[in-house]
Amino acid sequence: MGGDGSAADLVFVNGAVYTVDAARSWAQAVAVRGGRIAAVGPDAAIRPSIGAHTDVIDLAGRMLVPGFQDAHVHPVYAGIDMLQCDLHDLVTKEDYLRAIGEYAEANPDAPWILGGGWSMEVFPRGCPAKEDLDAVVPDRPVFLPNRDGHSAWVNSKALELAGTTATTPDPADGRIERGQDGEPFGTMHEGAQRFMTDLIAPSTADELYRGLLKGQEYLHALGITGWQDAIVQGPGDTYGDSLATYLAAAEKGELTARVVGALWWDRLRGLEQIDELVALRERGTAGRFAATSVKIMQDGVCENFTGAVLEPYLDAYGAPTENRGISFVDPEVLNEAVARLDALGFQVHFHALAERAVREALDAVEAARRANGMTDTRPHLAHIQVVHPDDLPRFRRLGAVANAQPLWAAHESQMDDLTIPFLGDPRWTWQYPFGSLVRHGATLAMGSDWSVSSPNPLEEIHVAVNRVMPPDYPYDADRTKVFLPDERLDLPTAIAGFTMGSAYVNHLERETGSIEVGKRADLAVLDRNLFAHPAEEIAAARCVTTFVEGEPVFTASDA
Ligand SMILES: [Zn+2]
């Protein structure tokens, strides 16, 4: 309860207000003044703050939650994808080829056909072939990353321009998929994508800016009011200067979300880049944006066997191979880099997907703690698909946040056909151990990795709670089996992951993440109280209105 008696700017009444405060308490009504929460309580306590100029929103029993925050997302590139050849919502090879052909026809002057978002499960072994693309685009190069960005589908023209042939060796951090004849097959994994990306002009400042605004609009429509951008680059980098994009949007007042940017660690270089990161950080704070994190990608993904594992992957017959995946950064360099970044006050945001990468990232945090003591940098490990049981208690002990992408924790064909058989027993049961991490006291943040998968927090929370794909999600999934049921989270824990947990990672938990007096009025109205419906229906809920500092940034057309 609070408020000094003067009229509020905005009041919500008659609702199911889930505050996500420490006691997980409920209220009916909220008053907002000057962009901040002025009072929280029962209707009777809040109604007196309604004045002649107060906007009053009757929630009519709907749910008010703190604005969701996405701890690992790529809204600028995802927004650009939405503006290019976007395959995310399609489900068959035929659909993909039709969309690609139509896009090429509609964009006759585009030197490259770009975009992406295909799904590995659509193709045998997860690898699409160049011939299919050649049939729809024979004369111009095509480069289309899949939805996780770890592999790209290319046509013969792209291979020809890149000079990639049967005799081209694989780069150290990637692999050219090859046919029986040794010729490139049409799928380029990880660093092998550079053969093409080196030839493609980075997105222009204008494309990046339009991408950011498109991405922001989409995220606001899902109730998201803040995020951590998991790859922010400076001038001259592969994907274009998205740091400048955020700064421009912040300075123009068009950045309505609160964003922490994770500056990209160039794994082809070493410690000498730290000075440049410091300079980028100095340039990189404006309005609601701060570039205070550094993204280190330590491994790839399991589906193409570039995720770093402790014991080798199995082959299709269950026999061990020689392949233990890739550690992109040498562990000794990683320890040194993380200790130095931590000493400089940088947060490190790891891509740590398979169990060796998770261990190497935790080892690096441990090295930093040893060197610098327990700083408040809040390092976090994103993806954490496979975690060795011995490493579960280390998250809490080291103050490393577990940054979960819960939508992937379900039986769908990428999991069942491309992952479980190759991880083998018991390792496949160590996947997405969110329940175990919570039982071991880890702080949990959550994110989507959009455009890899849907950024809808309600779909993510649905899977975190059920460990089953939402009914309408466009994945070929087995919805009859719960994926590792002991790892399910309860609804309060999952909501907290997408609110307070992610606010903590962004060092914003004093300002946002819960509905408490004094905090910013970053809020989302959902069309129903999630707690009053079965868990199997969480993903059916919709965001109705989104507010940042009490100002609406999204209103559903039927609201
Ligand atoms: Zn990512």
| CA 450–ligand 1 middle distance (angstroms) | 7
Q: CB under 8 Å, gap of 24 or more: what pairs does 23-31 form? A: 24/492, 24/496, 27/515, 30/64, 30/515, 30/521, 30/523, 31/3
The mean per-residue pLDDT over the stretch 322-333 comes to: 96
Q: What are the backbone dihedrals phi and psi of residue 298, each rounded to the nearest 5 degrees, phi first?
A: -95, -25
Q: Could you tell me the distance, in angstroms and rounded to a whole number, from the CA of residue 233 to the centre of ligand 1?
A: 14
Q: What average pLDDT does range 57-62 have in this prediction?
A: 98
Q: In this structure, what are the phi and psi dihedrals at residue 222, rounded to the nearest 5 degrees?
A: -105, 10
Q: Give yes or no for a contact between 172 and 212, defined as CB atoms under 8 angstroms apart.
A: no
Tell me, in angstroms, the distance from the centre of ligand 1 to residue 72's CA.
6
Q: What is the pLDDT of residue 2?
A: 42
Q: Near ion ligand 1, which residues have CB within 5 Å?
A: 230, 449
Taking the centre of ligand 1 as the mean of its atom positions, its distance from the CA of residue 10, in whole angstroms, is: 36
Mean pLDDT of 151-158: 97
Task: Please say if the pLDDT value at position 305 is more than 80.
Answer: yes
Phi-psi region of 23 (alpha: psi -120 to 50; beta: other; left: phi over 0): alpha
Residue 1: what pLDDT?
A: 41
Q: Hey, what are 530's tokens?
A: 């999630």
The dihedrals phi and psi of 226, each to the nearest 5 degrees, come to -160, 160
Q: Which pLDDT does position 483 carry in this prediction?
A: 98
30 CA to centre of ligand 1 in angstroms: 35
pLDDT in tens, 473-496: 767 789 999 999 999 999 999 999
Q: What is the pTM of this model?
A: 0.89
Q: How far is the CA of 149 from the centre of ligand 1 (A)?
A: 8
Half-sphere exposure of 181 (CA within 13 A, CB side): 5
Q: How far is the CA of 282 from the centre of ligand 1 (A)?
A: 24
Token pair 């600028």 in the structure block, residue: 76
| Centroid of ligand 1 to alpha carbon of 124 (angstroms) | 24
Please state, rounded to an integer, the average pLDDT across all residues of the chain. Answer: 95
